[in-house]
Structure 1
Amino acid sequence: VSTDRRCRDSFSFIHFHCFPGEDGGVVLKKSSLRCRRDTQSSRRDTSDTRREGDSANTQATMEFSSKDMALKAQKKILSSMANRSSVQMFIDDTTSEILDELYRVSKEYTGNKAEAQKILKNLIKIAVKIGLLFRNNRFNEEELVIAKDFKKKLNQGAMTATSFYEVDFTFEQTVMSDLLSDCRDLLLKLVNTHLTTKSHDRINRVFNHYSDPQLLTKLYDPSGPFRPHLTKICKGLNKLMEDGTI
């Protein structure tokens, strides 16, 4: 009688030999033969094959997504440079002046310089990344329609903002808040499949901050401390509208 016991690295053959006993019974004697598999070789072959397969797959993936990887690298590098001193590398002087005034408004409203800088940095990161997406032709036809709708809404918001400033006692906080919220929603829809959840959160934080009813009310107070900032912001918006930028 024989059987074998197997494990991962070895196996044994066990033999049972039958002999007649002195009392007429049967005596069983066991012997075994243990063999070791050549597992190191098989493992090495399997590992080599797996490495070759992984290498081939990685190479294929890199070749397939090289454009995406390059775009991600650009976005990461430019995001790390997103501060007020480097912003002029990516946007025009007029927009830069508007951003500076928005920063001052945020700093005075929150009373927190670090928080105001973070809000502005988030705003710049959003602008830079969306600019890169446009430059690399990442938007499809449907998304380009959304982009046009966003530009129209932004233009409407700029016209409304300057009108409220130029004509006394016409400011309506809910109108301005709703326009900013509409811009936010269109922008989120535009970048939905292109930017990360973290970038979506940045968009929400920026637009929610500037659509804050209390902030807008203080900003449009004719005798309030924010009036000089609003004057420069509206001057810049008028120039951007004249140039066709927004």
Structure 2
Amino acid sequence: MTVVEERTVTVPVRRERPVVRRAVRGLALLGALGVWQVLTAADARVWVRFDRLPGPVEVAREFGRQLGHGPYYADVAQSLVRILTGFGLAAVAGIGLGIALARSRWAQDLLQPLLEVARPIPAIALVPVAILLFPANEQGIVFITFTAAFFPVLVSTRHAVAALPGVWEDAVRTLGGGRWRVLTGVVLPGALPGVFGGLSVGMGVAWICVVSAEMISGDFGVGYRTWQAYTIVDYPGVLVGMITIGVLGRATSGLVELAGRRLLAGRLG
């Protein structure tokens, strides 16, 4: 009898070191800034017009000027309060209703038709409704932010819960677990990846809509200040506002993603 010896060949996985990846990302950013500077300095017109666009040096100078004044920080704080309030309310409502829609036929019959009709409506289109419904602009802007973040969280949570294997719940119930045990031991932990995917998308959409709402009906905030800069033909100020929005959006989305990784790591650990 011939014995065939099986050998497992391990293929080394090539992983880039974090320092190398950071260096590549930094060089990509510097390269983009360099191209921007060259095109604006040469007043280039290559399908789009760079002859009227301020260059990065001019924008950096304006950024430094605004960082030395209090109104810039007041606008950032106002936008953050709006985004965190609206997003926090949307997270609670979206996760709760998403679980209910995935697990309750009564919730599906009563709520889903209305929600499916409202979901395609862009949140920014609700600005006139918000003006009519709420006595203050602040409440209306928070409402628009809430609406923008609510539906991505709702849909992602509903699909994540509905996709959970039924055998998990059956196992818990076989061991004597009730509804609360199923919710805390199966539904919430199992749906976490989908829930945080929806939260990350919702945060990005919320920033788009809160800035748009500030431009239309706000008195303070980064969006309001960016629009005011445009009305007085302060193009470096416009780009400062755009960069600020991008940085704030990336920072808040990064915090949501970090929280998701920590919770998922704790669950797996």
TM-score, L = length of structure 1: 0.26
Give the number of the structure whose residues are more often helix, by fraction: 2
Rg larger for: 1
TM-score by length of 2: 0.25
Greater relative contact order (CA < 8 Å, ≥ 6 in sequence): 2
